[in-house]
Structure 1
C-alpha cells in the first residue's frame, strides 16, 4: 500500500500499475519541485524484485486544457521526437491518457532521469556551455513534419508596462518591432520552454532535458531567447549574452542570430507585471524580488534595443 500523506487518487495509482505491469507495487510517491503548470510526481515501483522509478504528470489546469485540449498528446509526440536528439537525454514515453476517463485528468507516464536542477552553478561558464550544447543537439532533430507550430504567447500590440517599468516608451518600441515584419527563419524542432529549471545535471554535465509539453516547430532563436530572458532575470544581461555566445559557438553556421526573437520571448515575460518565478523559489533560489525582476527585464530590454541601432 502507498504510505499515508500522498496525493495520488486510487484511480491514478491503478492506472500506473496497469500500465507498467499488473504485478507491480507502488512503494512511494514524491512530488517533484519546480513544476508550476501541472503536478509532477516520481513514483517508485517494485517490479520483479527490483525498484523502478517512473514520472507522472497530470494536467489539472482547466483553463490550460480548454485552450489546448491536446496537451497530453502533444507532450507524448514531443517526447517521441526528442528521443532522436544526439547527445541529449530526454524522458522516454511509457503511456499517456489524452482524456480524463482513466485518471480524472489527462496524464503522462514517462521514465525518470538522473540528476538535479542547478540554478546557482559553481562554474558559470561550464553551466552555460552545457546548456547551450544540449540545445544545439535538440535543434538538430529532423522534425519538419511535426504538427505543432510556434506562436507567441502574448499580443505585443496590447502590452502596457507603464505600471512597473522605468522605460515604458522603450517597451513600446520593442512592441513595434515585434508586431512589424517577422524575419524569415529555418524551421527547427524546438523545446519552447528551454530554461535552467528544465535541465538536469549530474557530475557537472547535463544529464537530461525535461518538460516537453510545448514542443513545436519554430525558430531556434525562440529557445535561445527564452533561455536568455530567464538568465537575465536570474542573473543579468551579461550572463544571457554569454549563453548566446556559447550557443553560437556550438551551432556554427546552422544558426543565424536575430535579436527579433529575443524581443518576442522578452515580451512573453513583460506582458504582465513582473514577478519571481515560483519554480525558482521552490528549487531554493533566494534574494529575488518582483522589483528586482522588473529592473532586470528593463536592463535586458535596453541591451536588446541597442542591437537594433
Structure 2
C-alpha cells in the first residue's frame, strides 16, 4: 500500500533540509510512504528536474527511536564504504542523525529499482541469488572496519513459545549459554534477509529474478559470517518453512562462502539468531502481513519458529 498524497506528513523543517541537498532547479513534487519497515518511516520523494523529468530519493526517518543517532551514523558510514563496490546499495545524499535540521533523525539516499519479494513462489530460485549476494558482502575489506557485531538475545531473555517442544528449546538455550566460538571477522550487513533485498522479477517467470539492491545498513558490523547467514536462514524459515532456513546455509557454501568448520560452532550461531526471534515475533510478523502474507499471524510464526529450532537441534545438535 502507498499513499501518494502525504506531503503534509513530512514536516516543513525536514522538507527544507531535503531541498538544500537538491540540485539547482530541482523541486519535490510528490512523497509516497513505503511500507514494510519495523523501526523507521520510509518515504520515496519524487524530485522534478529542470529538464522536465523526475528522479527519486528515499527519506528514512526515525521517530521516537532510542538508538536513532547511532543507527544513522552507522548507516551513513556503511553507505560511504560501499560506494564504488559491486554491492548494489543506495548512495548517501545527506544525513542528520541528531535532528539538528529535521523534525526527526533522518537520512536521505538514492532510490533503487526493484521490490521486496516475500512470496513462497520462486523462493527456490531466489535463495542462490541471496546467497551469492551475501558472499559478495562478506568479501568486502573496507579500509575502516565497522564496529563489532552485537547479538540480539541471551539465554535469560529467550521467550519459549506456548506449546513449543520444551526439551528442544531447553537444549537450544543451553547452547547459547556458552562463549561464542572463535571466528574470523567479516564485513556484515547484520540484518540481511528478503525484506531488505530488492528484486526485479520479470513476469511470468520468477526464476528470472535478479537482485537490484540491498538496503537498511543501520546495523552494519564486523563479525562472523555465520551470524549473517543465521539471520537470513531464520527469516527464510519463518517466511517459507524450516527447510528453507537450512537450504540457505547450504546455498551460501555453494556460492563460495565459508562457514564454521565444526557442526557445534554452526549450531551456536544458527540457534542464537533463531532464538532471538522469540522476543520479537509480533514486530517481525506484522510487516509481512502488511506486505500480503496475511497467513503469517504471530501464532503461525511462533509455530514455525518452534519447528525451526527443533529442526536445528535435530540436524546440528
Partner of 2:73: 73
Deviations 1:150-201, CA, capped at 9 Å, x for gaps? 111222234342x624223322221221120311111011111111111101
Q: Give ranges in structure 2 of 5+ residues lacking alignment.
A: 202-208
Residue 107, structure 1, aligned to residue 106, structure 2:
yes
- Flag the 1:205–1:151 CA change in 2: closer, same or farther, 3 A: same
Partner of 2:267: 259
1:30 aligned to which of 15, 32, 50 = 32
Partner of 2:204: none
Name the SS for the 1:13 alignment partner. Answer: helix
Equivalent runs, 1:131-280 vs 2, <5 Å: 131-143=130-142, 145-161=144-160, 164-203=162-201, 204-253=209-258, 256=261, 258-271=266-279, 277-280=285-288
CA distance in 2, matches of 1:201, 1:8: 28
Name the SS for the 1:116 alignment partner. Answer: coil
Deviations 1:133-162, CA, capped at 9 Å, x for gaps? 11111111103742411111222234342x
C-alpha contact (below 8 Å) 2:188/2:221 kept by paired residues: yes
Partner of 2:67: 64
Using structure 1 for the length normalisation, give the TM-score: 0.90
Partner of 2:14: 12
C-alpha contact (below 8 Å) 1:275/1:289 kept by paired residues: no
- Flag the 1:62–1:286 CA change in 2: closer, same or farther, 3 A: closer
Shift of 1:308: 3.9
CA distance in 2, matches of 1:220, 1:150: 11
Deviations 1:189-236, CA, capped at 9 Å, x for gaps? 111111111110114101111111111111111111111111111121
CA distance in 2, matches of 1:221, 1:138: 13
Point out the more displaced range, 43-52 or 151-160. 151-160
Residue 39, structure 1, aligned to residue 41, structure 2:
yes
Name the SS for the 1:110 alignment partner. Answer: strand
Partner of 2:90: 91
Partner of 1:295: 303
CA distance in 2, matches of 1:21, 1:275: 38
- Flag the 1:143–1:24 CA change in 2: closer, same or farther, 3 A: same
CA distance in 1, matches of 2:88, 2:279: 33
- Flag the 1:261–1:202 CA change in 2: closer, same or farther, 3 A: same
Shift of 1:306: 2.1
Name the SS for the 1:89 alignment partner. Answer: coil
Q: What is the Cα-based RMSD across aligned positions, in Å? A: 2.2
Shift of 1:275: 6.5
- Flag the 1:143–1:258 CA change in 2: closer, same or farther, 3 A: farther
- Flag the 1:135–1:173 CA change in 2: closer, same or farther, 3 A: same
- Flag the 1:235–1:3 CA change in 2: closer, same or farther, 3 A: closer
Count of residues in Structure 1 that have an aligned counterpart in Structure 2: 303
Using structure 2 for the length normalisation, give the TM-score: 0.88
